[in-house]
Each structure stands twice: as C-alpha cells, then as structure tokens.
Amino acid sequence: MRNIILSILGILLIIGAFFIGQKISNSKKKERPIPEKVVKTVFTDTVNNGTVQIVIPANGNLVAKRRIELFSEVQGIFKSGRKLFRPGQEYSRGEVLIAIDAGEHYANVQASKSQLYNAIVAIMPDLRLDFPEVYPRWQNYLNGFDLNNTTPKLPEMTSEKENYFITGRGIVSTYYNVKNLEQRLLKFNIRAPFSGILTEALVTEGSLIRNGQKLGEYIDPTVYEMEVALSKSFANLLKVGEEVKLNNLKNTEQFVGKVSRVNGSIDATTQTITAYIEVKNESLKEGIYLEANLNAKSETNAIEVNRSLVFDSNQMFIVRDGVLDVIEVNPVYFSDTKAVIKDIPNGTIILSRPVPGAYAGMVVKPFVAESGKTSTK
C-alpha cells in the first residue's frame, strides 16, 4: 500500500513539474509589437503650365572686339615721340604710335621725284612743237610740282600719240616708281586706326626695328566680345541680337550684352557651335572671365522643375490620393540643375523636392506649414 501511495505521489510531482515548466516557458515569450504604419511627409507643388524661357548657361573670357597686332614693314631706328611706347598708354585716332627714322628712305624719294621732274622738263620742247594742244596741261603740271609735297597725278593723256610719246620717254614708269616710294615712306609712321590703349609693347625707343618684326598689340577698350561654345542642339535656337545677362564668378557684378554673331558651322571634333556675345562697360577689362545666360527659346505650356525630380529620362513622381505614383513626361530641355517639362496636366500634384527611397505606392502626406497651406517649396 505504501508503495502505491509513493508511486501516485511521484506521478503527481512529475505532472506538476511539467505544467510549472510550461508556465515558466510561456512567461518568457514576449509578443512582437505590431509596427505602426509610417506616412512620409513630402514637399509638393501643383502644376500650373505656362511659358518657360529656356536659358543656356555658358562662360568665357572677354576679348576686345577691335584689336590689332602691330608689325613693321620697314627697317630703322625707333624714334622717341610725345608719348612713351608702353603698355597702358592711350592714343587717339590718327595719333602716331611708332615713328621710325626714315631719313635715308626720304632722300631716295626726293631723288626719284627730281628724276621725274627732270624727265618731264626734258620733253617740254618736243611737246611744244609736236603736241601744242597738250603743252599747257603739262606746263601747269610742272608749275604745281613741289618736291616737299606728295607727287601729283600725271595729266590725263587724251590721244594715242601723246600716250606713246609720254610712255616712251619713261615718264609713266618713273612716276609709279615715285608713288611706290612715297607709299613706303608712309609706313615709317604707324598711326592709331582708332582710339584705344596699348596692351603689349615689345620694343622701346632707340631700338633697331626690322622688317616683319612684331611691335606690340593695340585694342579698343570700349567694346568686348566673349566667345562661347554651345551644344549643336542649340544651333537653331540662338538668334543674333538676343539679349544676354552676364555676371562675374562671385556674382557681385551683372552686365548686359547681346549675341553679335553665330558661327555658321559646327565644330566637327566637339560638336559645338560658337556664338559671340558683345558687351560694353567701363569697368570691364580684356581677359575677365564671365558667365553668361543666353535666352535661347520660349517654351509654351511647360513647367520648370529640379532636374533630380526626373528619373529614367522621362518619368516623375506625382501624389494621387495620398500615394506616390509614376507618370511619363516629355522633357524638352535639361540644364545642370533644371529641367523643362511638358505634357503634365494642370492641377497635377508633383514632388517639389526629391524623396530618398521613393517608390510607386508609397503612402505620403504633403508638408503643411503653420499657416495651414501646403508647402510648394
């Protein structure tokens, strides 16, 4: 009997230990909390199509529109003048930039003039006898001949006999030889073709100047041009006379220029087209680096958005009933930061800022400012 009782107690202890173990085991299991549904707040904008001006960014250095490189066509000593030939020196139109000693050449010119005068004097008796009708004309020519002035043009020969007679005496060839020497004499003085400033001087007073030697550079500091290279896709958009806004690198100064010329051909290597922007301003200097914004074309029924909002070249996110959706769009122009988009219906709610990890079907809500209006920034 005692053994039976002990057996029953053992069985009860085992059953009790089993249930106690189960209870302890169940007490250690924690229920996993149900995650709350997260609704992402996004910045939105409402589409209102209108006219968008496509602006093409470009940059380049200013170059004087009128500039000349000074070269010598004669040889001689550079004579001192009223102004020193130095960079930064200003000259007026017609003023002598460089005067080269022409004493030797001047003597040759005078000798040739004397030969011409003597040759005409030598034929005057024959003219009086054989051509009395033209004699007064040639006599008047001699009376007006001055060795200190430019050689006057020969009298017009009215008959074939007169022409043969004058030409046969070598007068015509002597005359043109004199005119050639006189033209060369003018090259000993280099004059300013326009009012401007000297930007480079490679010779100084007293130097021996040689034929073909470069002497310096001269520019007009009132008008500058900037050469910009643009993609060939803009070839049909650029218009001569179009106003251009310019600014320096720090964007502290703004200028207004205009497209003065557009190259008629496209660079085969870079596939770009060159445009030239003319600008006038007293504060500008040659070589200044400027940035330009060219108004290329006005696109109607379009909007301008941040370029990062367009993905896969032609898709954008919109907000429809609190959920993100994807639509296809028609981008007509991309810049570094902006994109011009067409074919989005008015009233469509689009994102105004990129959303990291966005996907179609994401539940979102527009950001509402304190005033209660949906933010469109």
Nearest alpha carbon to residue 82 among 4, 189, 225 = 189
Residues 93-117: tens digit of each pLDDT: 999 999 999 998 999 999 999 999 9
What residues does 262 pair with on adjacent strands? 275
- Interaxial angle between packed helices 160-168 and 171-186, expressed in degrees from 0 to 180 and rounded to the nearest 10: 70
pLDDT for 339: 87
The separation between CA 228 and the C-alpha centre of its own chain, rounded to angstroms, equals 3
Has domain 55-64+223-295 been given CATH number 1.10.10.10? Answer: no
In this prediction, residue 363 has a pLDDT band, given cuts at 50, 70 and 90, of confident
pLDDT for 225: 94
How many residues can be counted in the chain? 377
Rounded distance between C-alpha atoms, residue 90 and residue 377, angstroms? 53
Here the tokens at position 111 are 């000798």
Domains 55-64+223-295 and 71-101+188-219 share a fold: no
Query: Does residue 6 carry a pLDDT above 80?
Result: no
- The class level of CATH for 42-54+300-366 reads mainly beta
- Rounded mean pLDDT, 114-130: 91
Residues 131-144: tens digit of each pLDDT: 889 899 999 999 99
- Give this prediction's pTM: 0.66
Helices (H), the chain: 2-28, 103-130, 135-143, 160-168, 171-186
Neighbouring C-beta atoms of residue 146, cutoff 10 Å: 11
pLDDT for 138: 92
Here the tokens at position 143 are 């009376």
Helices (H), 187-331: none
pLDDT for 307: 87
Question: Do 248 and 60 contact (CB within 8 A), yes or no?
Answer: no
Question: Do 41 and 365 contact (CB within 8 A), yes or no?
Answer: yes
- Interaxial angle between packed helices 103-130 and 160-168, expressed in degrees from 0 to 180 and rounded to the nearest 10: 130
Residues 246-271: tens digit of each pLDDT: 998 888 889 999 989 988 888 888 88
pLDDT for 375: 47
Q: What is the CATH number of domain 71-101+188-219?
A: 2.40.50.100
Question: Do 230 and 281 contact (CB within 8 A), yes or no?
Answer: no
Provide the residue ranges of all domains of the chain, joining segments of one domain with +: 42-54+300-366, 55-64+223-295, 71-101+188-219, 104-184
Residues 194-247: tens digit of each pLDDT: 999 999 999 999 999 999 999 999 999 999 999 988 877 777 777 788 888 899
3-state secondary structure of 242: coil
Helices (H), 169-239: 171-186
pLDDT for 371: 43
Question: Do 330 and 288 contact (CB within 8 A), yes or no?
Answer: no
Question: What angle is formed at CA 105 by the lines to CA 99 and CA 111, rounded to 5 degrees?
Answer: 140
Here the tokens at position 156 are 């017009």
3-state secondary structure of 248: coil
Rounded distance between C-alpha atoms, residue 205 and residue 84, angstroms? 8
Rounded distance between C-alpha atoms, residue 80 and residue 129, angstroms? 54
- How far the first Cα of the chain sits from its last, in Å, is 92
